[in-house]
Amino acid sequence: MSTASAASSSSSSSAGEMIEAPSQVLNFEEIDYKEIEVEEVVGRGAFGVVCKAKWRAKDVAIKQIESESERKAFIVELRQLSRVNHPNIVKLYGACLNPF
């Protein structure tokens, strides 16, 4: 299973739709993975792989999650990032919660 999110340091966003995660509703856009152009892997960690990518002509970072336990932690992270608006923290545009 894989899951991805797209984020950028830009302050503009087309987000706003509601998507449902297990027992939660999150306030950001559900991204169609076909819209993401992965360019290169920039890091690997305990919670997945981070890649540089393009989404709707924007430079973004995506995180790919590969296990169900990581997916649950990822949902918590998405919920936290969706509430943050700070110039030194990447802006969450959305997530692709379905396997691709």
**31-58 pLDDT, tens per residue?**
888 889 999 999 998 778 899 999 999 9
63 is in an annotated binding site: yes
**Minimum mean pLDDT range among 11-15, 29-33, 54-58, 82-86:** 11-15
Query: Distance between CA atoms of 94 and 29, rounded to whole angstroms?
Result: 4
Is 78 a residue whose pLDDT tops 90? no
Instruction: Check: pTM over 0.75? Answer yes or no.
Output: no
First CA to last CA across the chain, in angstroms?
A: 8
